[in-house]
């Protein structure tokens, strides 16, 4: 199937060809025709499957006709990084048209955003908090709004934007097209969808809460105190390439980056404690290959548009099992393959079991010779009995871990 067969106009087809896109992904094949019909859409798809184009292309085609310079399409996203990514894609896909877009998010000054909004825009891509700031100051007129997109809806709720999103919904025209995209559908996400949508079509191109098929999962049991040493060893011995490492806290990200740097790794830290300019610089260097390893908190789990990430590392097992899916979705994008490495200390075993329950699969436990955990993970029905694990060596292209 081609993009042309989906009903897109020539100027959009030309822009897609210039971007190197020749065939639509499954979510695009399913969602674009429905979006072009003006129907509400709920899209559930794994991250990295092309859902940004699935909602932007119908919007850009719709906005070709009618008045310009008034806000007719609003895209809500959870993070500033995702806002920048969607804005970049809107510019690329709409380069041969006359649709104007603006990105509105926190962490930077309001004046340039205010100037763009007052100058007249057709599409606004915004984070909820900053959008409400502009709405409260009278910078945003939503009376002509025709299309609303809620992108990464599950992440918006995870980050505490539920009240802001509902306030925005109450301020928008009831008569509109709404497109709702989420990687996972929880009870809270489902309630939000019921509130936002009318007579919607459902598009689901993958099993919910499931990592991409091209991800190879490696789970290594190790004492918490040995995690930094194990990761430094594995980064030297596993296939080289862009590696994204997730920690639970900003302090942990900085501390790990400092340790890896002392071990000779080309690494940078990326989290909400950094200024926006520092984050942009770190991300640009990572994207260009000047930095090989990026250590980040979950602020980077969504929205960073970096290709060819060969490995994602869960330095800390996420407390929310759905975050695991979002994290590992940074690799194996667009049909590529990748590795998801998780370092699990004995106290994190139950959290990892929740991840496996969500994914409906059991991941094999490995150990790194010389760094075996001194205490076995405790199963719910068992009492803790300290022991040194025994096992056999894992052989193959890595050859650095031992199967338990």
Identify the band that residue 253 occupies on the pLDDT scale cut at 50, 70 and 90.
Answer: very high
List, for residues 259-272, the tens digit of each pLDDT value.
999 999 999 999 87
Identify the band that residue 211 occupies on the pLDDT scale cut at 50, 70 and 90.
Answer: low
Higher-pLDDT residue of 121, 298:
121
Pairing mode, if any, of strands 365-367 and 147-150?
Answer: unpaired
* pLDDT score at 403: 40
Which 3-state string (H, E, C) describes the chain? Answer: CCCHHHCCCHHHHHHHHHCCCCCCCHHHHHHHHHHHCCCCEEEECCCCCCHHHHHHHHHHHHCCCCCCCCCCEEEECCCHHHHHHHHHHHHHHCCCCCCCEEEECCCCCCHHHHHHHHHCCCEEEECHHHHHHHHHCCCCCCCCCCEEEECCHHHHHHCCCHHHHHHHHHHCCCCCEEEEEECCCCHHHHHHHHHHCCCCEEEECCCCCCCCCCEEEEEEECCHHHHHHHHHHHHHHCCCCEEEEECCCHHHHHHHHHHHHHCCCCEEEECCCCCHHHHHHHHHHHHHCCCCEEEECHHHCCCCCCCCEEEEEECCCCCCHHHHHHHHCCCCHHHCCEEEEEEECHHHHHHHHHHHHHHCCCCCEEECCCCCCCCCCCCCCCCCCCCCCCCEECCCCCCCCEEC
* pLDDT score at 305: 65
* pLDDT score at 334: 62
Q: Is the pLDDT of residue 191 over 90?
A: no
Q: Is the pLDDT of residue 335 over 90?
A: no
- Per the prediction, the chain carries an average pLDDT of 85
Q: Which residues is 102 bridged to in the sheet?
A: 124
d(C-alpha 179, C-alpha 201), whole Å: 10
Q: Is 86 left (phi over 0), alpha (psi -120 to 50) or beta?
A: alpha
Mean of pLDDT values over 50-67: 93
Q: Is the pLDDT of residue 383 over 50?
A: no
Identify the band that residue 205 occupies on the pLDDT scale cut at 50, 70 and 90.
Answer: low
Mean of pLDDT values over 192-220: 77
* pLDDT score at 273: 83
Burial (Cβ within 10 Å: 0-12, 13-18, ≥19) of residue 299: buried
* pLDDT score at 331: 82
In order of their start, the domains of the chain are 4-204 (3.40.50.300), 215-403 (3.40.50.300)
Identify the band that residue 301 occupies on the pLDDT scale cut at 50, 70 and 90.
Answer: low
**Whole-structure pTM value:** 0.64
* pLDDT score at 400: 45
* pLDDT score at 123: 97
Mean of pLDDT values over 121-147: 96
* pLDDT score at 387: 38
The pLDDT > 70 percentage for the chain reads 86
List, for residues 341-367, the tens digit of each pLDDT value.
999 999 999 999 999 888 888 888 888
Beta-carbon count within 10 A of 1 CB:
10
* pLDDT score at 158: 75
Distant-in-sequence, close-in-space partners of 180: CB < 8 Å, separation ≥ 6: 40, 41, 42, 43, 149, 150, 153, 192, 193, 196, 197, 200
* pLDDT score at 43: 87
On whether the CB atoms of residues 300 and 313 are closer than 8 A, the answer is no
Give the residue among 128, 208, 203, 115 at the shortest CA–CA distance from 166.
128
Mean of pLDDT values over 19-23: 88
CA angle in degrees (0–180, nearest 5) for 146-151-157: 115
Higher-pLDDT residue of 53, 372:
53
Mean of pLDDT values over 121-146: 96
């Amino acid at each position: 199937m081609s993009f042309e067969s989906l009903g897109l106009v020539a100027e959009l087809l030309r822009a897609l060809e210039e971007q190197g896109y020749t065939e639509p992904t499954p979510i695009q094949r399913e969602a674009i025709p429905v979006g072009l019909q003006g129907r509400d859409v709920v899209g559930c798809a794994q991250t990295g499957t092309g859902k940004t184009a699935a909602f932007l292309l119908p919007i850009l085609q719709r906005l070709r006709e009618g008045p310009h310079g008034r806000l007719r399409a609003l895209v809500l996203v959870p993070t500033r990084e995702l806002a920048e990514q969607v804005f970049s894609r809107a510019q690329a896909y709409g380069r041969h048209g006359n649709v104007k877009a603006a990105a509105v998010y926190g962490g930077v000054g309001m004046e340039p955003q205010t100037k763009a909004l007052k100058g007249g825009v057709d599409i606004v891509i915004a984070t909820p908090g900053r959008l409400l700031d502009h709405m409260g100051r009278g910078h945003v007129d939503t009376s002509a709004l025709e299309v609303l997109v809620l992108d990464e809806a599950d992440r918006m709720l995870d980050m505490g934007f539920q009240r802001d999103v509902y306030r925005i919904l109450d301020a928008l025209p009831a008569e509109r097209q709404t497109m709702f995209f989420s990687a996972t559908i929880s009870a809270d996400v489902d309630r939000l969808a019921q509130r936002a949508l009318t007579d919607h079509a459902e598009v689901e191109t993958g099993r919910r809460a499931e990592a991409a098929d091209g991800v190879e999962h490696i789970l290594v049991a190790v004492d918490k105190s040995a995690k930094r040493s194990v990761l430094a060893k594995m980064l030297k011995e596993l296939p080289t390439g862009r590696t994204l490492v997730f920690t639970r806290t900003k302090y942990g990200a900085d501390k790990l980056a400092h340790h890896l740097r002392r071990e000779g790794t080309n690494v940078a830290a990326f989290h909400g404690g950094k200024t926006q300019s520092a984050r942009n610089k770190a991300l640009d260097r990572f994207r260009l290959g000047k930095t090989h390893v990026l250590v980040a908190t979950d602020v980077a789990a969504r929205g960073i548009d970096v290709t060819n990430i060969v490995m994602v590392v869960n330095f800390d097992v996420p407390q929310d099992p759905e975050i695991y899916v979002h994290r590992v979705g940074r690799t194996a994008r667009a049909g590529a393959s990748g590795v998801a490495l998780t370092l699990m200390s004995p106290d994190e075993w139950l959290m990892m079991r929740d991840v496996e329950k969500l994914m409906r699969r059991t991941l094999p436990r490995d150990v790194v010779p010389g760094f075996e955990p001194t205490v076995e993970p405790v199963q719910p029905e068992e009492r803790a009995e300290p022991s040194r694990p025994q096992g056999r060596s894992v052989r193959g292209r890595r050859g650095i871990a031992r199967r338990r």
